[in-house]
């Protein structure tokens, strides 16, 4: 059972997570405070990865709740966060959109949809339960996107398309 009482919100670094643990926080909420408005902000997912890797390396993962608050829109987003060590996720925007459009029924439907998407993602990864999720189930691509260039040529012309 998760508890956000005695938790700190807005933790973005492993160093701050260790301080939170040392002062007795029961959990942290990993969030960049809506960093989408600051063009250079670090993603909450990158912060989660750093924090959970540090805690795992020191044998401290599981000593406090890691609640992830950062752009959850689909069940696959929940899967990624949980693989990286999150104890739970915030679904604020999905919740608000569903409530604004359809009230209580919309929220119930949104939570069901997220749960179903998470189950499908787990099934595709061959994982029967949340306790078996781990970072090794994710693939990370660090290279910047490079356009794909397709060339088609016939006797009269050459067509080059960059995607």
Gap between the Cα atoms of 69 and 87, Å rounded: 11
pLDDT 10s digits, 125-158: 999 999 999 998 998 666 555 666 667 777 777 7
End-to-end distance of the chain based on CA atoms, in angstroms? 46
> Is 74 known to be catalytic?
no
Measured at the CA of 116, the angle between CA 52 and CA 53, to 5 degrees, comes to 5
Can you give the pTM of this predicted structure? 0.79
pLDDT 10s digits, 58-104: 999 999 999 999 889 999 999 999 999 999 999 988 989 999 999 99
Cα four-point dihedral sign 16, 17, 21, 24: positive
DSSP string for 30-85: E--SSGGGSTTPPPHHHHHHHHHHHHHHTT-TTSSEEEE-S---SHHHHHHHHHTT
């Amino acid at each position: 059972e998760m508890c956000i009482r005695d938790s700190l919100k807005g933790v973005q670094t492993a160093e701050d997570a260790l301080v939170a643990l040392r002062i007795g926080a029961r959990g942290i909420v990993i969030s960049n405070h809506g960093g989408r408005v600051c063009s250079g902000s670090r993603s909450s997912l990158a912060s989660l990865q750093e924090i959970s890797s540090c805690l795992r390396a020191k044998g401290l993962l599981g000593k406090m709740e890691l609640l992830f608050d950062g752009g959850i829109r689909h069940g696959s987003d929940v899967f990624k966060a949980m693989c990286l060590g999150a104890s739970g996720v915030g679904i604020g925007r999905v919740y608000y959109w569903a409530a604004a459009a359809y009230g209580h029924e919309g929220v119930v439907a949104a939570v069901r949809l997220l749960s179903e998407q998470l189950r499908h993602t787990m099934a595709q990864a061959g994982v029967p339960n949340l306790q078996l999720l781990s970072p090794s189930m994710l693939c990370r691509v660090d290279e910047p996107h490079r356009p794909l260039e397709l060339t088609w040529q016939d006797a009269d012309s050459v067509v080059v398309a960059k995607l």
